[in-house]
């Protein structure tokens, strides 16, 4: 284990195969893309406790319904099969049949119970999956399952759609003197506005932890991570976060809240926050990660509502693309967010690696340099900090700029 | 009066000067734009009853605060002064001082009480108005006030910002055997997502109607007109609808609900709906008006929530730009709207002047021709109709497509 950071965890290289005993495989199944891998599988020979959170969209993809059922009944999980290209959403009964056929095929290939197979899909809504190619993909992947970073990285690439970068994160924490690893991969670039959950994210850990605490840790963590990002305001039909724990680290099982549980949560937060920021920073067509922090709020909820309104505002996002310190749009978005505050008390700052500067004091512009503001806003990661001076609560949200390429990608996506 | 339509009203040419006794003027005050008119004035020598609805954004421009105060205290209105280029929002006490200075200048120029002057501004947030130019503009306009369509049209052009077309509508209704005229003009193209109100719209009528009913008619009408449009999801700080009635038509005063009040409301609806559609169809950078009708709803509220979610969805808007029948995005937006419905009962149709076709039946795609769908979606006005089969309520919302030009306009707007 590397040197521990102040926060009590150590970021490491790797992703979904970073934790002990987790294997991955991927293949080019030809579901919709050609010339690239488009299916992935995660596998743990040791059965896992599983936690999951899913889209709150009323229109839910078949795999979302399938996984929710499995997680709620408390089935031990051993494998997750993911395909890119077709979302298996709005596919009626046929779509559900594909989930059970997929589980059956994995069960046969890996000799594990059907109930231990989770599924996830991402891509075009409304098309039916080509079951023959899915089945062929499963049989191609089963013998090639492998531990180690290369297999994890290949899997994280196979689940990309309009993503331009694969997304992984991993961390180690000390729990009762034992090193526990948490690692994950995710995908997401458009139709990103998670509501109580997120796009596709798969996090694995070798921690021994009770099912109740695993569920609680995930449920609480997504509120400050995936639920605080937005690319385009569109909450997907397929949003899914799965967290699998196989206990192979050998730590004394975390069975109650206390220092060990908190250490686990800090590690989980690091992985989920890192993956969330990677999604926001790789938003469709974007050129910049846009982070908004609201501080001085009287409640956490108020801070979150304000921060999310700003990162979701199309006009603010377009201004960020133009490197334009158009702060009126930020105040405007805060104003229509639904959260109460006094616009005439707001201080606003812009920050990036090029510097930091105050733009507004008590709701009115200070005498700032437009050139300096443009310089700060021209970096690949920019940040706005609003102090509303009502209390001590803080929240951060992550989004990206709105660009020509976002429109191009989404005007052409199906063709 | 022309031939009456079935609905009991007759659309006519004209705008804010269509009703008896209303005059308009405009001028190039050089507030921010050069080489074009950027100030307008509406005037009625006969004092008017005034109704107004204003943005629900917590951040409210100074003129919004000013007009709300005047309308609530029931002051008789005689003049409205409007400028384009600077919004007079986030301008603190100085911004409020400009409103009273403007009222004073108009009062002196037209010899009317200061309390009878309403003001409206649109443009960049956060800049202070150049009061000397505003005052010079008022003194230039006062002597050139004129009745008739030319003055009304010039005023409607002077209040444009990123609008590409001026927006007017007028109608005549028969009230107790007397022809009453209602006419209006509006502007709006970006930062359009009215919440309980709208951008700048000025409607005048020569109807004699009690103040209570004038307020009620406006308050109820905006819910189905301005409040059902969106260009970009950003609720402005300046949204204002003013309705002025000078009674010059000579009809028996409408003092209670009944056939005369209903006739007035039908005429008002025509004007407001026409102006609303003109705003949506001239959304920043757009190439198409996108109308969404939800029918078969169990409540009006449910139908509205669903229709607005679809026209607000960036992904759906980008698909319309691409003439792509990407119906999954429509169902997805309905799903995250917050309204309850059964996705597996939804029928969806696309319509335009190029034809009409069914796309989904009971939540699943029918076997439709993509070519025909693209043909239908390539017209300048396209329509999606969703039947959710739960009841008999219907609502319509209007938006537009999301294009490269929307991004271009808003990445560059301040420069």
Contact (CB<8Å) B336/A411: no
- pLDDT, residue A154, reads 97
A92 touches chain B (CB under 8 A): yes
Domain final position from B231, B256, B281: B281
- Residues A170, A13: contact at Cβ < 8 Å? yes
Number of folded domains that form chain A: 2
- pLDDT, residue A393, reads 96
Token pair, residue B225, equals 């007109």
CB atoms within 10 A of CB A257: 12
Token pair, residue A137, equals 């993909």
How far is Cα B251 from Cα B175, in angstroms, rounded to an integer?
6
Q: Which of B236, B327, B340 sits opposite A126 (nearest CB)?
A: B327
pLDDT tens profile A203-258? 999 999 999 999 999 999 988 888 888 877 777 787 888 899 999 999 999 999 99
Q: What is the mean pLDDT of chain A?
A: 90
The torsion angles phi and psi of B136, rounded to 5 degrees, stand at: -60, -40
* Alpha helices, H only, B74-128: 92-110
Q: Mind telling me how many Å the CA of B41 is from chain A's nearest CA?
A: 26
Chain B residue closest in CA terms to A91: B364
Contact (CB<8Å) A233/B237: no
B74 and B206 in a common domain:
yes
- How large a percentage of chain A has pLDDT more than 70? 96
* List of chain A residues with pLDDT < 70: 1-7, 194-198, 413-415
B91 touches chain A (CB under 8 A): yes
A308 and A253 in a common domain:
no
How far is Cα B400 from Cα B188, in angstroms, rounded to an integer?
13
Q: Which of A90, A344, A411 sits opposite B331 (nearest CB)?
A: A90
Which residues partner with A11 through β-bridges?
A171
- Residues A394, A293: contact at Cβ < 8 Å? yes
Q: Which residues of A touch B341 (CB under 8 A)?
A: 58
Domain final position from A256, A281, A306: A281
A335 touches chain B (CB under 8 A): yes
| Domain presence at residue B376 | yes
Q: Which of A96, A315, A324, A371 to mutate to test the interface with B (most CBs of B within 10 A)?
A: A315
Chain B residue closest in CA terms to A331: B59
DSSP A111: T
B162 and B19 in a common domain:
yes
Active site residues of A: 198
Domain final position from A260, A281, A302: A281
- pLDDT, residue A415, reads 45
Q: Which of B89, B360, B365 sits opposite A328 (nearest CB)?
A: B89
B3 class by beta-carbon count within 10 Å (0-12 exposed, 13-18 middle, 19+ buried):
exposed
B365 touches chain A (CB under 8 A): yes
| Domain presence at residue A2 | no
Active site residues of B: 198
The torsion angles phi and psi of A47, rounded to 5 degrees, stand at: -55, 145
pLDDT tens profile B105-155? 999 999 999 999 999 999 888 889 999 999 999 999 999 999 999 999 999
How far is Cα A130 from Cα B234, in angstroms, rounded to an integer?
41
Contact (CB<8Å) B312/A233: yes
Residues 259-288, chain B: which have Cβ within 8 Å of A? Answer: none
How far is Cα B97 from Cα A102, in angstroms, rounded to an integer?
69
- Residues B124, B414: contact at Cβ < 8 Å? yes
Residues in chain A: 415
A89 and A65 in a common domain:
yes
Chain B residue closest in CA terms to A313: B234
Q: Mind telling me how many Å the CA of B225 is from chain A's nearest CA?
A: 19
- pLDDT, residue B163, reads 86
Q: Mind telling me how many Å the CA of B272 is from chain A's nearest CA?
A: 23
Chain A residue closest in CA terms to B236: A332
Q: Which of B90, B95, B319 to mutate to test the interface with A (most CBs of A within 10 A)?
A: B90
Of B353, B295, B408, the closest CA to residue A324 belongs to B408
Contact (CB<8Å) A407/B190: no
B317: helix, strand or coil: helix
| Domain presence at residue B83 | yes
A353 and A258 in a common domain:
no
Q: Mind telling me how many Å the CA of B243 is from chain A's nearest CA?
A: 24
CATH of the domain at A383: 3.10.20.340
**pLDDT per residue rounded down to tens, chain B (415 residues):** 344 455 678 999 999 999 999 999 999 999 988 889 999 999 999 999 999 888 888 888 999 999 999 999 998 999 999 999 999 988 889 999 999 999 999 999 999 999 999 999 998 888 899 999 999 999 999 999 999 999 999 999 999 988 888 999 999 999 989 999 999 999 887 777 765 444 788 899 999 999 999 999 999 998 888 888 887 777 778 788 889 999 999 999 999 999 999 999 999 999 999 998 998 988 888 999 999 999 999 999 999 999 999 999 998 999 999 999 999 899 999 998 989 999 999 999 999 999 999 999 999 889 999 999 999 999 999 999 999 999 999 999 999 999 988 888 888 766 4
Cα A214 → chain centroid: 17
A319 and A401 in a common domain:
yes
A338: helix, strand or coil: coil
B303: helix, strand or coil: helix
| Domain presence at residue B99 | yes
A270 and A305 in a common domain:
no
| Domain presence at residue B3 | no
B412 touches chain A (CB under 8 A): yes
B406 and B330 in a common domain:
yes
- pLDDT, residue A234, reads 76
Token pair, residue A118, equals 């989770």
CB atoms within 10 A of CB A288: 23
What is the domain range of residue B96? 9-281
Contact (CB<8Å) A412/B322: yes
B217 and B293 in a common domain:
no
The H helix count followed by the E strand count for chain A is 11, 15
Angle between helices A327-336 and A314-321 (to 10 degrees): 160
Q: Which of B234, B402, B413 sits opposite A313 (nearest CB)?
A: B234
| Domain presence at residue B1 | no
Specify the pairing of strand B77-86 against strand B117-124: parallel
Q: Which residues of A touch B363 (CB under 8 A)?
A: 90, 92
B108 and B151 in a common domain:
yes
Q: Which of B283, B314, B323, B342 to mutate to test the interface with A (most CBs of A within 10 A)?
A: B314
- Residues A311, A283: contact at Cβ < 8 Å? no
Residues 233-252, chain B: which have Cβ within 8 Å of A? Answer: 233-237
Q: Structure pTM?
A: 0.82
| Domain presence at residue B378 | yes
- What per-residue string of b and e applies to A239-254 under the rule 16 or more CB within 10 Å gives b? bbbbbbbbbbbebeeb
CATH of the domain at B246: 3.60.70.12
B27 and B160 in a common domain:
yes
B182: helix, strand or coil: strand
B212 and B146 in a common domain:
yes
Chain B residue closest in CA terms to A412: B322
Chain A residue closest in CA terms to B306: A58
- Residues B335, A59: contact at Cβ < 8 Å? yes
- Residues B147, B43: contact at Cβ < 8 Å? no
Q: Mind telling me how many Å the CA of A92 is from chain B's nearest CA?
A: 6
- Tracing tokens 């503001």 back to the chain, one arrives at A373
């Amino acid at each position: 284990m590397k040197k521990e950071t102040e926060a009590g965890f150590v970021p490491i290289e790797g992703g979904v195969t970073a934790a002990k005993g987790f294997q991955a495989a991927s293949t080019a199944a030809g579901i919709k893309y050609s010339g690239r891998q488009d299916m992935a599988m995660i596998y743990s020979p040791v059965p896992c406790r599983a936690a999951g959170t899913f889209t709150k969209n009323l229109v839910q993809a078949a795999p979302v319904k399938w996984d929710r059922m499995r997680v709620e009944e408390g089935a031990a999980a051993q494998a997750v099969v993911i395909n890119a290209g077709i979302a298996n959403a709005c596919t009626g009964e046929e779509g559900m049949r594909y989930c059970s056929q997929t589980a059956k095929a994995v069960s046969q290939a890996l000799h594990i119970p059907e109930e231990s197979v989770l599924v996830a899909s991402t891509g075009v809504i409304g098309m039916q999956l080509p079951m023959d190619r899915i089945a062929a993909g499963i049989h191609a992947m089963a013998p090639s399952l492998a531990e180690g970073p290369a297999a994890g990285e290949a899997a994280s690439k196979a689940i990309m759609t309009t993503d331009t970068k694969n997304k992984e994160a991993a961390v180690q924490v000390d729990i009762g003197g034992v090193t526990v690893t948490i690692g994950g991969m995710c995908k997401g670039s458009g139709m990103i506005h998670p509501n109580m959950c997120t796009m596709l994210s798969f996090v694995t850990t070798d921690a021994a932890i009770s099912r109740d605490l695993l569920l609680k840790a995930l449920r609480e963590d997504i509120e400050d991570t995936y639920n605080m990002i937005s690319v385009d305001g569109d909450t997907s039909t397929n949003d899914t976060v799965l967290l699998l724990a196989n206990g192979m680290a050998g730590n004394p099982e975390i069975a109650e809240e206390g220092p060990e549980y908190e250490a686990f949560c800090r590690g989980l937060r690091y992985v989920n926050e890192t993956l969330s920021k990677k999604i926001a920073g790789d938003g469709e067509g974007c050129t910049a990660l846009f982070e908004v922090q609201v501080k001085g709020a009287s409640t956490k909820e108020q801070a979150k509502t304000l921060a999310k309104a700003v990162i979701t505002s199309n006009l603010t996002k377009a201004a960020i693309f133009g490197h334009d310190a158009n702060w009126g749009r930020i105040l405007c978005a805060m104003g229509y967010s639904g959260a109460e505050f006094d616009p005439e008390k707001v201080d606003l700052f812009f920050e990036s690696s090029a510097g930091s500067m105050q733009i507004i004091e008590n709701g009115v512009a200070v005498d700032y340099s437009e050139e300096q503001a443009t310089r700060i806003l021209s970096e690949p990661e920019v940040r706005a900090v609003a102090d509303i001076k009502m209390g001590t609560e803080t929240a951060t949200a992550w989004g990206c700029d709105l660009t020509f390429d976002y429109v191009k990608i989404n005007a052409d996506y199906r063709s």
